[in-house]
Chain A
Amino acid sequence: DVKVTQSSRYLVKRTGEKVFLECVQDMDHENMFWYRQDPGLGLRLIYFSYDVKMKEKGDIPEGYSVSREKKERFSLILESASTNQTSMYLCASSLGATSSYEQYFGPGTRLTVT
């Protein structure tokens, strides 16, 4: 089974702090994704990566950056956390261009910025 793990289930940070959310997948997937989930808005794509050191902006990249130094790890960085970044953050991975596109999700990190 594909396993996607996220470093924290719950996180509380202060406004202005730098926040790192880590995601690791164990199935040698090419693609990795970061979403945020808010009530009534569904999942919105923040950033994704097709390969090591590659990154592409999603629909809502403002205020976020990412890092992918190793194939299995994809980090989401909030450079200076703000209260409007309080949300559930979901990481996902998928096999690659030859796959049927299904994504496998981690359990999520619920981030609260105070």
Chain B
Amino acid sequence: AQSVTQLGSHVSVSEGALVLLRCNYSSSVPPYLFWYAQYPNQGLQLLLKYTSAATLVKGINGFEAEFKKSETSFHLTKPSAHMSDAAEYFCAVRAGADGLTFGKGTHLIIQP
């Protein structure tokens, strides 16, 4: 069975600081991994995805993530946080024929 663990239900960073959101996964098949953002009062927006190509994946809005098989991790980073990055972030892994299993989410708080 596939599972995702997101470390830290809340992460707070200062504007301009590095953003690091942690995700570890468990998968019995080659993993496809995703990061989604949920801005206030909106649905989930896909930021980036890993599908067995390059291990460093660049996404939208300056986010990127690195797939590390040895650590079963797929952490999300952004060099410089902006106030508009405040959101809930979800990591997800392929599960079953076409489904995804989501982590419980990390709420990112940006301090001015």
Which residues of A come within 8 Å of B, CB atoms? Answer: 4, 30-31, 33, 40-43, 45, 48, 50, 90, 92, 94, 96-97, 99-108
Contacts and interface: CB of A to CB of B under 8 A. Distances in A.
A107 B51 CA distance: 26
A50 B46 CA distance: 21
A113 B103 CA distance: 26
A106 B43 contact: yes
A42 B104 contact: yes
Nearest to A48: B99
A101 B49 CA distance: 10
Interface residues of B, number: 22
B103 A108 contact: no
Interface of B: 9, 32, 34, 36, 41-46, 49, 51, 90, 94, 97-100, 102-105
A105 B43 contact: yes
Contacts of A4: 43
A42 B43 contact: no
Contacts of B45: 105
A20 B49 CA distance: 32
Given A42-B90, A42-B104, 14 more contacts: A4-B43, A30-B98, A31-B98, A42-B105, A48-B99, A96-B98, A100-B32, A100-B51, A101-B34, A101-B98, A102-B46, A103-B44, A104-B46, A105-B44
